[in-house]
Amino acid sequence: AKPGSVLRLVGERGGWAQVRRTDGRRGWIEREAVATL
């Protein structure tokens, strides 16, 4: 996802966050890279 994209947090594991984009695609990113709104 591009910087500033809106993602939904669907899970966390060991410093990683599983996220879902608005188009439904899922992936893992470092938890530090996510800001909670």
pLDDT at residue number 3 = 82
E-strand ranges in the chain read: 7-13, 16-21, 26-30
What's residue 11's pLDDT? 95
Structure tokens given for 12: 């966390």
Q: What is the pLDDT of residues 1-37, one digit of tens each?
A: 678 888 999 999 999 999 999 999 999 999 998 888 8
Domain that holds residue 31: 1-37
**The pLDDT of residue 34:** 86
Direct distance between the N- and C-terminal alpha carbons of the chain, in angstroms, rounded to an integer: 17
Domain tally, the chain: 1
CA 13, chain centre distance (Å) = 12
The pLDDT assigned to 36 comes to 83
Dist. CA 13–CA 16, nearest whole Å = 5
Instruction: Give pLDDT, residue 35.
Output: 86
Question: Residue 23's closest CA among 2, 15, 32?
Answer: 2
Write down the pTM of the prediction: 0.76
